[in-house]
Chain A
Amino acid sequence: MSSPTATARAAGAPAAAPARRSGPSARAARPGRRRSSLAGLWFVLPFAALFAVFLVWPVLAGLWASFTDRSLASPGAEFVGLANWREMLGDSAVWQSLWTTLVFTAISTPPLVAIALAMALLTNRAAAGLGWFLRLSYFAPFLLPVAVVALIWEWMYQPGFGMVNGLLTAAGLAEVAWLTDENTVLAAIAVTTVWWTVGFNFLLYLAALQGIPAYVYEAAALDGAGAWQRFLRITLPLLRRTTGLIVLLQIVASLKLFDQAYIMTNGSGGPGYAARPAIGYIFEAGFTGLRIGYASAISYLLFAVIAVVSLVQFRLFSRKGETA
């Protein structure tokens, strides 16, 4: 059974061997000559211990805390049943912050996918001498710490001497109070986020594009397919799996919005809390309001949203994502 794998390895494609994707069945297919031993247990122990202490335990403790009035200010805690959950359902700030998160996800994801694809297509077509310049320019912002990104963009959004408004006035348009207007603050943060993180998606798309063999296009060109046809009929379908992965990673990342929104509004949540995402509200309830129990309940609401979105997407894309 090991010989096909060895061939794949010799062909230089360790990551592409399809048999490996189905973990349990591949394992079952191997002859079970390996003796069960405790050695593996020792190897897995350090990670398992950290996993238990810093992941499993907080997950369970948070669930328990959500049924108590536990506070950061006092040691004791009393069981309050569903009080936190009931309060949460009636707390408009919870729903506003969740709505803000969803709006941010909805406005940031499409450009983060489309611009990344455009960048990858342009780089893939570019003459060899230009490629490195495009790769560096598109990817560089991704390397910046969030605080640096936030500093640069806060500065660019400044009225009067900021670059964005400078360009607007140069074009004869009116200035916009980007970060201090309820209607623009979330969009301004979304633009910053797109600029900052699109490079990673670009890299994934570029790697996928370079994996498409040229003969596929040559064959299509012989059949008389134009550039647009080739893009629609070949490139897009072959990129479907990559697109699925990018969309999934992107939506989950956007649902966890906090850092840039917090820094760019100086922790205020923005005018009218228009830029306070779900994690922003959890942070406030827990660390400013000191209510661990209540913050935990909201955490679980967000956790549930993220888990449901991931699972739905995973099913959607694993069903039709067999190509490429």
Chain B
Amino acid sequence: MSAAIRTPRPPAAPGRPAPAAARPRRLPRPTPGGVLAAVLGVFLAVVWLMPLVWAVLTSLKPEAETTAVPLRWLPLEPTFAAYQAVIERGDLQRWLLNSVVVSVLVTALTLVVCVLAAYACSKTEFPGRSWLFALFVAGILVPPQALIVPLFDQMSVLGMVDTYWGVALPQVVAPVMVFILKRFFDAIPRDYEEAARLDGAGHLRVLWSVVVPMSGPVLAAVGIFTFVQAWNNFLWPFVATADPALMTVPVGLGTVQGSYGIQYAQEMAAAVLGALPLIAVFLLFQRHVVRGVTDAGLK
């Protein structure tokens, strides 16, 4: 975890001292201000973790204990019964599978489609290029949530309600990703691309062998953010699916609460299980996330 936040690359000021790199070498001198900051920081961290700890502890209680008054933090008789019940019910596995299918589909398609579009807008000339890019940028202003009704109407006309494609495709339209990628591609000097072109490489070849390898962090960032967004998206999958067999984790957990009755331990167990995949993805890729945020110029 210690490398979670990479020092952002220095803004173009060559020769300046690198403070962050020098800091760990210095012996920590506890100043009153530093101690106060540490105490406040830990206090805030504990406050922020409390709901999560509370959820996990609740999920480990037998149902009868969950509604005890006055409340008690630690389970008297810790048990995995709630987890077992949730897993046996089978809904969650189905939702997880749907979430994986939809999120992978959205992420893969977004990367392919947006990278191609950004490359075209950055490295090629075609008639109407600038107005098309301007239209994409204007598309950033359109809040998809506000257009949910016409979009659903459109999907029913296309016969895509209650299909994976219907859930996934509208989420692939992410003009902001084209914008970020184009800005990054613009920074890649033309020399590279021209050298490849002189060697007879076509655009696809230049994109795949020159541009993509130079864009690792930003591609990782776009990919991870798209995945997280698709995984956590609630409104569109909720609107686009009426069939419980197609529900994603957020939709399932958000709407089928009733089926858990008031079994709080089971609700919390389902919540914990539903949160785990994304936390795992994040822990795997966290370096790229933070570097990508910096590189994508979001700073």
Contact = CB atoms under 8 A, between A and B. Distances in A.
Given A16-B9, A161-B66, 13 more contacts: A15-B184, A36-B126, A37-B125, A37-B126, A44-B117, A126-B37, A132-B1, A143-B279, A152-B51, A211-B10, A211-B299, A282-B146, A310-B141
A10 to B, nearest CB: 9
A3 to B, nearest CB: 8
B116 A44 contact: yes
27 contacts: A2-B190, A6-B189, A8-B12, A11-B10, A12-B10, A13-B11, A39-B202, A39-B203, A40-B129, A43-B119, A50-B173, A53-B154, A58-B154, A70-B153, A138-B45, A144-B232, A155-B54, A207-B8, A207-B293, A207-B298, A213-B17, A215-B16, A252-B143, A256-B145, A258-B235, A263-B254, A279-B148
Interface residues of B, number: 128
Interface in B134-191: 135-136, 139, 141-154, 156, 158, 169-170, 172-173, 175, 178, 183-184, 186-191
> Sorted from nearest, which 8 A-B pairs have the closest CB atoms?
A40-B124, A214-B19, A62-B150, A147-B253, A137-B45, A286-B149, A43-B120, A47-B117
B212 interface: no
Contacts of B33: 125, 227
A236 interface: no
Contacts of A70: 153
Contacts of B271: 147-148, 151-152
A166 interface: yes
Interface stretch (A17-25, A82-90, A105-113, A177-185): A17-25
B282 A143 contact: yes
A140 interface: yes
Q: Which residue, of A36, A118, A259, A302, has the highest number of chain B Cβ atoms within 10 A?
A: A259
A43 B153 CA distance: 29
A60 to B, nearest CB: 9
Given A126-B41, A303-B142, A163 B50 contact: yes
Nearest to B130: A24
Q: Which residue, of A20, A24, A147, A161, has the highest number of chain B Cβ atoms within 10 A?
A: A147
A299 interface: yes
B296 interface: yes
A53 B113 CA distance: 14
Interface string B69-104: 111000000000000000000000000000000000
B148 A282 contact: yes
Nearest to B4: A135
Nearest to A211: B8
A43 B124 contact: yes
B274 A145 contact: yes
Nearest to A8: B12
Contacts of B22: 214
A148 B113 contact: no
Nearest to B41: A122
Interface of B: 1-2, 4-5, 7-14, 16-17, 19-20, 22-24, 28, 33-34, 37-38, 40-42, 44-46, 48-52, 54-55, 58, 66-71, 112-114, 116-117, 119-121, 123-127, 129-130, 132, 135-136, 139, 141-154, 156, 158, 169-170, 172-173, 175, 178, 183-184, 186-191, 202-203, 207, 228, 231-232, 234-235, 239, 249-254, 257, 264, 267-268, 270-272, 274-275, 278-279, 282, 290, 293-299
A270 interface: no
Q: Which residue, of A121, A141, A213, has the highest number of chain B Cβ atoms within 10 A?
A: A213
A44 B67 contact: no
A281 B222 CA distance: 32
A235 interface: no
A148 B275 contact: yes
Given A46-B113, A126-B38, A156-B51, A131 B2 contact: yes
Contacts of A169: 70
Interface of A: prevailing SS: helix
Contacts of A287: 149, 152, 239
Contact of B127 (A36, A162, A255, A295): A36
A203 B127 CA distance: 40
B124 A39 contact: yes
Contacts of A242: 299
A54 B119 contact: no
Q: Which residue, of B48, B49, B54, has the highest number of chain A Cβ atoms within 10 A?
A: B48
A173 interface: no
A57 B41 contact: no
A213 B20 CA distance: 8
Given A40-B129, A46-B116, A258-B145, A59 B50 contact: no
A232 interface: no
A313 interface: no
Nearest to B141: A307
Contacts of B203: 39-40, 43
Nearest to B124: A40
Contact of B4 (A48, A50, A136): A136
Given A40-B124, A146-B254, A130 B67 contact: no
B79 to A, nearest CB: 18
A245 interface: yes
B5 A36 contact: no
B142 A59 contact: yes
Nearest to A5: B189
B244 to A, nearest CB: 14
B196 to A, nearest CB: 14
